Chain A
């Protein structure tokens, strides 16, 4: 068959959520569109791989030694939000509400998959805490059981050091009708209910 095309399909297949069928569709799409589009895509792949490293403070991807968030004067450098992976950071950034900085853990604890404390960036976090003396550590780790274990572990060690540790509230999805909320979420939301503050 057509060797270069097949090689492209093979390469696309290695991407998450892309099966053989979609890979073929993508490859043919790239062939049928103007050459310029395909070259632009190829270049940007090369560029992210060659230019981006990890920020040496928060471990997010960055072009510079310190990422724009870590070097920004308008961000609160004393508030660190611990997230599992870069996509989570981008989710917080999209909300536009968070003004502190981040720490990317690189995963969550899961002994079953061989992920122990030394496989995550927990030592790095401990060093940061010594050096930066943050006023608050926010655990932004998601709701899976493994994330829960990780959050409890981090909370325990840093609380012992006198750091204020907080976690995200678990509750109702915004805009959801109450009758469609499952029982677990509802009872969680009830547990974590907060006082109502009226704007005056």
Chain B
């Protein structure tokens, strides 16, 4: 599996650290209801198909990326810098 880092170009998966669902970028408001915080912290969909998750280019440029990929076909559709991703 290879990911295309917007800074470094196409790189092997071993250079990256996997964080999980990009829901981590959508932090609820401090006064949000407990259910919203429960979803944010614990509940994940585990989809068979398209997914959007966070990867850290740990052994590369050190940027956090939002990666769109498919868990069934293993296709990687693209990656953007987390700092530029829509929140």
A and B interact physically: no
